[in-house]
Amino acid sequence: MQVVFMLPPQVHLLDLAGPAHIFYEAACYGAPIQLVYSSIYTGESAAVSSAALSFRELVPFDQLTLRAGDLVFVPGLDSALLFDPHFNSLSAPFQQWLYHQHQQGITVCAVCTGAFLLAAAGLLDHKNCTTHWKYTSAFSQRYPAARLLTNRLFVEEAGIYTSAGVASGIDLALYLTEQLWGPQFAAKIAKEVVIYFRRTSEDEQLNIFTQYRNHLDQRIHEVQDILSRTPSQRHTLAALAQKVHVSPRNLTRLFRKTTGITIGAYQDQLRTTHARQLLGEGHTLQAAAQQCGFKSINSLRRLLQP
């Protein structure tokens, strides 16, 4: 199968390279994949990323020959272009081509603001979708016919996938490898690229690993890093306080004041999130409880209840 990555002008590198590398590793492990990199303009074989890295020898989109089941990824791009009438006019032939490809059975995927190009092509009309949290308001105003779901990592409907951006493009690529070649294969790829937490379409863009981190207290960040890295360990308050050179009482006060949540509640959320991921990968409740540091299965079961 062909996995085609479109390169709009000012493409975001991680939106492109993250999922591309997942499929590269999948090919190394034996998946029948051909990676193709394409321009969204007729006759153009070069592009420049938003980070000023240049690409050459791209295949113009109108020279591609795709078959049902192939994948097309549209990464995000500099937001200024999305609101530029000249760019929208220049990319109109690509949008029409993309719409036609989906009608022929091609799976279309967008990363981050790439969803804007899918919406401009009419692919997201009356369909569930998502995009980067920063652009949800602008997206809804411009494309009211799309059913935008906020705070979602990625969304699928009718062979069209949209994702929140950057890391979620990797999550989406792993999800697709799992759908195509099974969970064990996807787990091998995740391990190869050193991703310990594979996230699913049900996970939020702003989950426990990113929540409660919008502060500038390095001591609290250090404690949060320790807890995030070692969900199975039972850290005492005294040991955590010693690592950041404050008293246990002061750490308790600082953590609550800085994050709005207690250390215990924060650790419970970390462990529960990790446990859900393990359960989703086929681990038993007992194994998940042990790996996440719960005293008993019942302790985990109580936290898993809605």
Is 142's pLDDT higher than 90? yes
Structure-model confidence comparison of residues 190 and 24, the more confident one: 24
Give residue 166's pLDDT band: very low, low, confident or very high (50, 70, 90).
confident
Task: Give me the pLDDT at residue 205, please.
Answer: 47
Average pLDDT over residues 297-304: 84
* 151-165 pLDDT tens trace: 788 999 999 999 988
Length of the chain: 306
Provide the H-helix boundaries in the chain: 13-28, 79-82, 85-90, 92-103, 114-120, 136-142, 167-181, 183-192, 218-229, 237-243, 248-259, 263-280, 285-291, 297-304
- C-alpha span between 16 and 169 (Å, rounded): 8
Q: For strand 54-55 and strand 47-48, is the pairing parallel, antiparallel, or unpaired?
A: antiparallel
| Domains with residue ranges and CATH for the chain | 2-192 (3.40.50.880), 218-304 (1.10.10.60)
What's the alpha-carbon Rg for the chain, to the nearest Å? Answer: 22
What percent of the chain is predicted at pLDDT more than 70? Answer: 94
Task: Give me the pLDDT at residue 198, please.
Answer: 52
Mean pLDDT of the chain: 90
Task: Give me the pLDDT at residue 250, please.
Answer: 96
Q: Are 49 and 12 in contact (CB under 8 A)?
A: yes
Give residue 243's pLDDT band: very low, low, confident or very high (50, 70, 90).
very high
Structure-model confidence comparison of residues 275 and 184, the more confident one: 275
Question: The pTM is what?
Answer: 0.69
- Tally Cβ neighbours within 10 Å of residue 251: 22
- C-alpha span between 194 and 190 (Å, rounded): 6
Structure-model confidence comparison of residues 19 and 301, the more confident one: 19
How does DSSP classify residue 244? T
At 65, which helix (H) or strand (E)?
A: none
Is 206's pLDDT higher than 50? no
